[in-house]
Amino acid sequence: MTDRVPILKIGDVLLVSIQTDLEDQMVLDLQEDLSQRIVDTNARGVIIDISALEIVDSFVGRMLATNAAMSRILGSTTIVCGMRPAVAITLVELGLSLNGVRTALNLEQGLALLRNERTAGTARP
């Protein structure tokens, strides 16, 4: 049995804080767990905090893009926060543009971004 990435609920936002390097099965479990939690909680936003990750490979990069797309289809906005400069460089070098993935420097900015979207009326009602 593999470890699972915890998903915390803060109001109508789900916080995924990745604190360890992800194995392939953990990534697949996260996708399943996150989609189910979005539906179960009617979450309007998802923040994935990757500040603890020192490296990101193409599989994890695709997972971030896939989770954002999946969340969007389920009516939730996804923001990835805490990306280290080395991780950003690696993603660009791998050719992963992460289309549809919103980013913020830290958790506080990510929450503010979600709040601003609601105020502007761009997030789902």
The enclosing domain of 40 has a CATH number of 3.30.750.24
Report how many domains make up the chain.
Answer: 1
Percent share of the chain, pLDDT over 70: 94
**Higher pLDDT among residues 99 and 5, named by residue:** 5
Mean pLDDT throughout 36-64?
90
Tell me the two tokens of residue 14.
């789900």
Pair 21, 52: CB distance under 8 Å: no
What is the extent of the structural domain holding 97? 7-120
Left (φ > 0), alpha (ψ -120 to 50) or beta: where does 98 sit?
left
Mean pLDDT of all residues in the chain? Answer: 88
Q: Examine residue 125 and state whether it is found in any structural domain, yes or no.
A: no
pLDDT confidence of residue 96: 82
pTM: 0.88
